[in-house]
């Protein structure tokens, strides 16, 4: 059985991205959870559509849920597991 991967074009980080969405399979510790992979960036929607004509154009879908905010939420405690919030470490 082949895994179903959804192809989309989404506007993220000031570019039009060709994305692949799906669910992690049984061999992953993230089994059943959704993923979104940003594959290729384009300067315009026309370029993205030309390169990926079967991809669905997403305009209303919440895409920023995949991005971490700059400041940690109130529940985050770096002493909990020795982790840091952000990419500067």
Average pLDDT over residues 43-67: 82
> Does some domain include residue 84?
no
Distance CA 18, CA 8 (A): 6
Q: pLDDT grade, residue 62 (50/70/90)?
A: low
Q: How far apart are CA 39 and CA 86, in angstroms?
A: 23
In a domain, 71, yes or no: no
pLDDT tens per residue across span 13-37: 889 999 999 988 888 888 888 898 9
pLDDT at 73: 79
Q: Is residue 23 classed as helix, strand or coil in its secondary structure?
A: strand
Number of domains in the chain: 1
> Residue 4 falls within a domain, yes or no?
yes
* pTM as predicted: 0.62
Which positions ≥6 away from 10 have C-beta within 8 Å? Answer: 16, 17, 19, 57, 58, 61, 63
């Amino acid at each position: 059985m082949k895994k179903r991967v959804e192809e989309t074009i989404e506007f993220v980080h000031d570019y039009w991205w060709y994305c692949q969405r799906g669910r992690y399979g049984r061999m992953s510790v993230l089994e059943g959870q959704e993923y979104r992979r940003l594959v290729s960036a384009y300067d315009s929607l026309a370029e993205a559509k030309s390169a990926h004509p079967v991809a669905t154009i997403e305009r209303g879908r919440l895409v920023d849920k995949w991005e971490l905010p700059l400041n940690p939420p109130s529940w985050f405690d770096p002493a909990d597991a020795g982790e840091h919030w952000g990419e500067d470490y």
